[in-house]
Structure 1
Amino acid sequence: MGGVTTMTVTPATGPRRRPQLAAFLRGRRARVTPADVGMPPGLRRRTPGLRREEVAQLSGVGVTWYTWLEQGRPINASAQVLDAVARTLRLDQTEREHLYQLAEVPYAPDREADAHRVNGEVQGIIDALDPHPAVVYNARYDILTANAAYRDLFDLRAMREIGVRNVLWMLFAVPEPDCPLVFRDVELPVMVATLRGAYGRHVGEPAWESFVRRLSATSPYFAELWSSGDVVPPGPRVKTFRHKAVGEIRMTSVSLSIDGMPDCRIVVYTPDDEESRHRTAVLRGRRGLPEDS
């Protein structure tokens, strides 16, 4: 399930770097677990970290191409593809620059748009916003972190079952009766239009193209909305959610930017009326209870 990646073989201009590149990629792949990227562990896993095919799939590149890259073969690697691999392997800025040097690709720090984790300061802010549900999304709606109140409001079991830590994917992949959005046909078009607004900065990037292609194959409704071409920026909205324990909850969502993470935003939800405030308080009181109680 990888993207189409050109596998042009070129003369090795730095033959000593290719073995170093191979070792570096293998080492970083071994330290990333399936749980780190929202994937189920699977059975009979002998690899300490991700498998090569999993890295390729998550990065939106071909399995053969990634295998050749990790074997240190003299193939071309674009900055966009290296960005995607770096995100999957959760490389920090120093490691990312090292990857570029080993692959002999000019390093451009401002390309680091899609963050894959938050720092301690942002995490502290998210936790301190409790009892208001708060989450950090990147531009693709991947969940980078969330507080306990967010987990109270949203049943994340469906996300764990599909193995993709992405709220947009979960909303389209679950059957319509299980969708937590009450006015699904109103809210989902806005979310897809917001996604397309961000997509313009990432056209051609393997991770983005793979995400859109795979979600379109999973959900004809998403494919229909995506083909419309509508674009909107993120903004405050009042959304109605359903929760099996307390019923409908009306929440106002507000997006906040994060310095140093231009493609990410904090989204905070606040009750829109007294009944919703009461029901979110009931959810807080249920913390620690079994999910099916």
Structure 2
Amino acid sequence: MLEVDRQSELGDFLKNRRARILPAHVGLPEHGRRRTPGLRRAEVAMLAGVSVDWYTYLEQGRDIQVSIQVLESIARVLQLDEFERKHLFVLAHCQLPPYIHPPQLQVSDTVQRFLDQLGHAPACAIDPKLNVLSWNKAFSVVYGDYSYLNEQDRNLLWRTFTSTEFIALKGSQWKEHALRLVAQFRARYARFIEDPWYTDFVMNLQKVSEPFRELWELHEVLDAPEGRKIILHPLVKELAFEHISFQSLDAPDIQILVNIALPKFDTARKLAILIDQK
């Protein structure tokens, strides 16, 4: 029953968006008055490269299979924006579409102000490749000042396997963290598999880190937050955090990671001391 509802919703969405597109919008001539606004089904089918009957079945909510290529063609014909395109894929495939262009990776002033105003909560903004794009003062006092790192070393996965300082911070939890992060990266990688950056990055990290190579060959996939963790800071010893992550609507390709101090090990007081000394 749920599947029928999903297909009906997909059909209604396609009909609604088809009604917005005039023939002139897609380079077609007008042929007299139309009883209904927008493109005809036959016109959408022709421009998308599918049969009229097949497209009609799709709008009627019938149980038919739709390939990624056809969905992309329909999205192009109906001139869907990025949010509408994602909605189309979720309705048709129950998952987000693959990226067709590099995501927006600029951290806005609003996001940076948000990070700064978190005070004693270490926080950063990352892109889909796990590159740290921006951070606050609390993040620097716990994980090190990323402003002194080059672009490669600012990558969370690269730093996890190549930084002795970061490995020391994680202590006995390093292996669990490393496995989780590799699984998260592989889950993201599936959406960017056409991007040569990923192939080069994985190959280079495999060359310099045998532990990464072993974990990568496990093919574990995970897209879940880290949860609670302990950091072994060189100055104040143990710090305990709860981890949450979310995305901003104005930059959906950027993920914001926030560490919230837990009462354990007097973490909040220790953080305040570290921040005041910086």
Range of TM-score over shorter length: 0.5 to 0.7
Structure 1: distance between partners of 2:207 and 2:165? 17
Paired AA for residue 129 in structure 1? L
Change (3 A) 1:218 1:115: farther
The 2-side partners of 1:158 and 1:247 are apart by: 24
Counterpart amino acid of residue 286 in structure 1:
Q
Corresponding residue for 1:185?
A: 175
Partner of 1:233: 223
Cα deviation for residue 263 of structure 1 reads 3.1
Structure-1 separation of matches of 2:142 and 2:164: 19
Partner of 2:111 in structure 1?
Answer: 122
Deviation at 1:234, TM superposition (A): 3.0
Decide which of 238, 258, 261 is 1:248's aligned counterpart: 238
Alignment partners' CA distance in 1, 2:201 and 2:105: 15
Name the residue aligned to 2:133: 144
Deviation string for 1:109-165 (max 9, x for gaps)?
Answer: x63443432111111111111221110011221011001111011124797279532
As a proportion of its length, which structure holds more helix? 2
Cα separation, 2, equivalents of 1:148 and 1:158: 11
Structure 2: which 5+ runs fail to align? Answer: 1-98
Larger C-alpha radius of gyration, 1 or 2? 2
Deviation at 1:260, TM superposition (A): 4.1
RMSD, aligned CA: 2.3
TM-score (norm 1): 0.56
Cα-to-partner distance string for 1:32-88 (whole Å, 9 max, x where unaligned): xxxxxxxxxxxxxxxxxxxxxxxxxxxxxxxxxxxxxxxxxxxxxxxxxxxxxxxxx
List gaps (5 residues or longer) in structure 1.
Answer: 1-109, 288-293
Of all paired residues, the percent bearing the same amino acid is: 24
* CA positional deviation for 1:224: 0.9
Consecutive aligned runs of 4 or more in structure 1 exceeding 6 Å deviation: none
Alpha-carbon displacement from aligned partner over 1:79-107 (angstroms, at most 9, x marks no partner): xxxxxxxxxxxxxxxxxxxxxxxxxxxxx
1:286 paired with 2:256, answer no
Count residues in correspondence: 178
Distance in 2 (alpha carbons) for counterparts of 1:158 and 1:178? 19
Return closer, same or farther for 1:180/1:162 CA change in 2, 3 Å cut-off: farther
2:268 matched to which residue of 1? 277
Residues 171, 179 of structure 1: 8 Å contact kept? no
Q: Is the 8 A contact 2:160 2:166 kept in 1?
A: no
Partner of 2:142: 153
